A and B are shown apart, each in its own frame.
Chain A
Amino acid sequence: ILNVEQSPQSLHVQEGDSTNFTCSFPSSNFYALHWYRWETAKSPEALFVMTLNGDEKKKGRISATLNTKEGYSYLYIKGSQPEDSATYLCAFPRTGNQFYFGTGTSLTVIP
């Protein structure tokens, strides 16, 4: 069993606030770290695939950083909007394409 942990479990922020979540994963035998966004009643949508230590990726107001030596990744949302409300999942692939997911961070942005 491989532990991928996400924190916090849930988060409520006001519109316009910036926020961040954490994904922790085993630091050995790193292949990649994936972030997904999952809105209610929709399919999980890939946000970022991070492969190199020190990687920083950005898509609009959302960005992510990666530290493979200590085994964590941060996801940041700047100026949260109600449409950012979703569950954010991280996934850690091992032995090819066997992905281990965290339990997710549920974000609610209050208008």
Chain B
Amino acid sequence: DAGVTQSPTHLIKTRGQQVTLRCSPKSGHDTVSWYQQALGQGPQFIFQYYEEEERQRGNFPDRFSGHQFPNYSSELNVNALLLGDSALYLCASSPTTGGSSYEQYFGPGTRLTVT
């Protein structure tokens, strides 16, 4: 049973560019959350997708957007990249939304470097 997968593993972009990160959830999971982990910080919640809609959103600007597909996989898009967007981006899946006692399963992350 494949766990959560993310692609690409690493990415280098230039300021002002746009980037798309991808995530496939664990089999049987329908909810995907995205997190940003900057250096020295814990993961910060970006948003969560369920039934192809954004259900929850953290304190991130509109430059951060996402999408969920019918097969539950998800994309994170960041427009007009800033140096401060350099971070590890984690995707997590869980079997349902609204259940805070459900374990989240994390992918290995995508390391984004903005130069």
A contacts, CB < 8 Å to B:
1, 4, 6, 31-32, 34, 36, 41-46, 49, 51, 89, 91, 93-104
Contacts and interface: CB of A to CB of B under 8 A. Distances in A.
Interface of B: 3-4, 31, 33, 35, 40-45, 48, 55-56, 58-59, 90, 94, 97-109
Contacts of A103: 40-42
Contacts, number: 74
A44 to B, nearest CB: 4
A25 to B, nearest CB: 12
B45 A31 contact: no
Contacts of A41: 108
29 contacts: A6-B42, A31-B100, A31-B101, A32-B100, A32-B101, A34-B103, A43-B4, A43-B105, A43-B107, A43-B108, A43-B109, A44-B90, A45-B106, A46-B105, A49-B101, A49-B102, A89-B43, A93-B100, A94-B100, A96-B56, A96-B97, A96-B98, A97-B55, A98-B45, A98-B56, A99-B43, A99-B45, A101-B43, A103-B40
A46 B103 contact: yes
A81 B10 CA distance: 31
A71 B26 CA distance: 31
A43 B40 CA distance: 17
